[in-house]
Amino acid sequence: MNQRSDELFMRRAFDLARLGSTGVAPNPMVGAVLVHHGRIIGEGYHRRHGGPHAEVEAVRAVSPTDRPLLRQATLYVSLEPCCVFGKTPPCTDLILQEGIPKVVISSVDRSPGVDGKGVEILQKAGVEVITGLLAKEGDELSATRNTFVTQERPYVTLKFAHSTDGFLGKPDRPVWLTNAFSQRLVHRWRSEHSAILVGTRTATIDNPQLSTRFFPGPSPLRIAVDLNGQIPEGAHLLDDRGPTWIIARKSPPRASHYKHTRWLLAQDRDDWWPLLLRELVDAGKSSLLVEGGAALLQYLIERGQWDEARVFVSSTHLGGGVPAPILPGLPDRMLRIGSDRLYLFHRAVHTR
């Protein structure tokens, strides 16, 4: 195989991995492709938490007539094969059992007990192992999992939209800025995150549902910061229709009447964020999408409490209103979503 072919097969593994984006957390998204003399003979991805890993799915996909070819095949996998017993057996055992002679890996799995040991086990058994193919893309794909296990906190993504003249909206009424394509994309992002967070003003003025009603995926845990108890009882976030956390200084009188809503009690403005991170980790929530408002977003930006930001710039001109937060550095890239522009930032790029 040449470098170009290797990269094509690894990109296929990445594409497969992303198919599991809504069901595997807090496990990582992983894709695997088995290749014999340039032909894909099996492929798979991690579909759901607790289910078979990508390597298992790829081996199972090999037809009976092609199974003898496994002993001459190359396995391309987006993340280092696991080597510990969890909800499923180690994938390193499967690779050795099937006699797969070569494994190409993009990113190292930083999970305790793995973190390079999977590579070591395979190499000691005589398997040819190549690591770091398309490493930057592989690391981005596994960033949520690796952040969760190494820093013991969820991966934090900021999302907001502003007008061409730099305003999020008006201070006293909701303003819709982005187009229908961007709206649906945001609902997909929600389905790919374990939890979603908004501040008090967003919860009261915009009255969001924070659901995935425009995309066929699971809705995340809804969270709102409401230290002074300002969210009205009729707000969507207090409809008790799905798992919801409200961060407050005290519980309301009717808190016991709610079945799906929980109040996290914080002491002050600086206490609620560490409290929330601890609770999310304890609940196994590996990713958090922060959708506003301006004060909450700027609070996290100033303290460096974010990993990634996704910023829409609309074609709308507001002529005044709530100023958009300011992110450090320049975006990594820009995409066009119809009439909107989407700018992607990664904090690590600006803090090395």
Active-site annotation, residues: 55
Which parts of 27-116 fold into alpha helices (H)?
A: 54-60, 91-98
- Please give the DSSP secondary-structure letter assigned to residue 315: S
Report how far apart the first and last C-alpha atoms of the chain are (Å, whole number): 34
Q: What does the DSSP assignment read for 215-241?
A: SSSPPPEEEEE-TT--S-TTSGGGS-S
Cα–Cα dist 286/289, whole Å: 10
> Would you say 280 and 26 are in contact if contact means Cβ atoms under 8 Å apart?
no
Secondary structure of 147-162 in HEC code, one letter for each residue: HHHHHCCCEEEEEEEE
DSSP count for the chain of H helices, then E strands: 11, 16
